[in-house]
A = this chain, B = another copy of it.
């Protein structure tokens, strides 16, 4: 076994250069140890912080007795490296002028770099701060390091407000839609396709379901001042066994992204009503998060950052904070649409601007 010494991270260096260093320590989900070691090492050198290591989570906080505590959270892991030859969203990082390419450039080594820079710079912040660097965000929810810490160290997740530094292109995205998945099954009866009248075609039986989904007009729901646009879609369909057999089964996977005024049970009831008469099974669900922008801590954050808040459509870990009663927003550098792509990149100024905005709020 070869021990790779963790490269040093200097949290006082330029935050864009720091992002590049973080990318260079590859950390595909399940392989966060090296980057967690480097982050821990960087934080241990800062006198104002209490630091705890929990698996590949690194937790750090000030304890200055301020009247308010905020969480700044980001995940350390990335999706796998691209397999396309020549793809630049990989490890190590590369620069093209002021644009930084690499796996995690947007999702979310830039945000993690901002967390580290804030931790090093804010020796006497206006609010107490808890920094959370966590593992296993890009994989199944049950592995989430944030979920693990929330369960095992609830005192570390006590706060008035949380900022998740997921990429939002510098805007504030409040809360998030929930997501639920359903399998809708159509049963038929197999027969030879030359004697179709002896069978029942389960693919033809899916026509009505697809028609209802096609004709459904997704709602836009106003929640706490933001408009959450919903999506309700068939995302996968499979049916049939052979070219000469009348299909006896079709399964349609439906994904409903629902506004945070609904619980997963509400979402299920909605889909069941839409697809009444069909066999609907819920296979997965995660609640959304209300933006909570009316909370004083949130309002102060929005005012300091100076950007009009928008709704977050994709599910993020803000929902975990919301479930704990902590209002939370997404605010981070980079374009979320570049996340997970072969071409993942971020502009150095976007990272620096994010850092500057948060310094304004917390200094």
A residues lining the B interface (CB < 8 Å): 177, 179, 181, 192-197, 201, 203-208, 210-211, 213-214, 218, 229, 231-247, 250, 252-253, 255, 257, 284, 313-315, 337
B-chain residues with CB within 8 Å of residue A196 when the two chains form the complex: 218, 231-233, 257
Which residue in B194, B208, B240, B315 is a CB contact (below 8 Å) of A253? B240
Which residue in B197, B231, B240, B247 is a CB contact (below 8 Å) of A195? B231
A301 to chain B, nearest CB (A): 23
Given contacts A214-B207, A237-B238, contact A193 B231 (CB under 8 A): yes
B-chain residues with CB within 8 Å of residue A232 when the two chains form the complex: 196
Q: Is the CB of B234 within 8 A of A204?
A: yes
Which residue in B195, B218, B313 is a CB contact (below 8 Å) of A313? B195
A249 to chain B, nearest CB (A): 11
Q: Is the CB of B314 within 8 A of A195?
A: yes
What are 18 A-to-B residue pairs whose CB atoms are below 8 Å? A192-B314, A195-B313, A201-B234, A203-B234, A203-B235, A204-B210, A206-B210, A207-B207, A211-B211, A235-B240, A235-B243, A236-B243, A237-B237, A237-B239, A238-B238, A238-B239, A243-B284, A244-B255
Which residue in B242, B255, B337 is a CB contact (below 8 Å) of A243? B255
Apart from A193-B255, A194-B313, A203-B234: 6 A-B pairs, beta carbons within 8 A: A192-B314, A195-B313, A195-B314, A204-B234, A237-B240, A243-B255
A103→B207 CA distance, assembly (Å):
38
B-chain residues with CB within 8 Å of residue A214 when the two chains form the complex: 201, 204-205, 207
Closest to A232 in B: B196
Given contacts A210-B206, A210-B207, A237-B238, contact A194 B243 (CB under 8 A): no
B-chain residues with CB within 8 Å of residue A208 when the two chains form the complex: 211
Which residue in B204, B213, B242, B313 is a CB contact (below 8 Å) of A213? B204
A243→B284 CA distance, assembly (Å):
10
B-chain residues with CB within 8 Å of residue A243 when the two chains form the complex: 181, 235-236, 253, 255, 284
A308→B181 CA distance, assembly (Å):
55
Given contacts A195-B313, A252-B203, A315-B194, contact A235 B231 (CB under 8 A): no
Q: Is the CB of A207 within 8 A of B211?
A: yes
A216 to chain B, nearest CB (A): 9
A315→B337 CA distance, assembly (Å):
51
Q: Is the CB of B233 within 8 A of A204?
A: yes
Q: Is the CB of B247 within 8 A of A236?
A: yes
A235→B190 CA distance, assembly (Å):
10
A271 to chain B, nearest CB (A): 14
Given contacts A177-B194, A315-B194, contact A246 B233 (CB under 8 A): yes
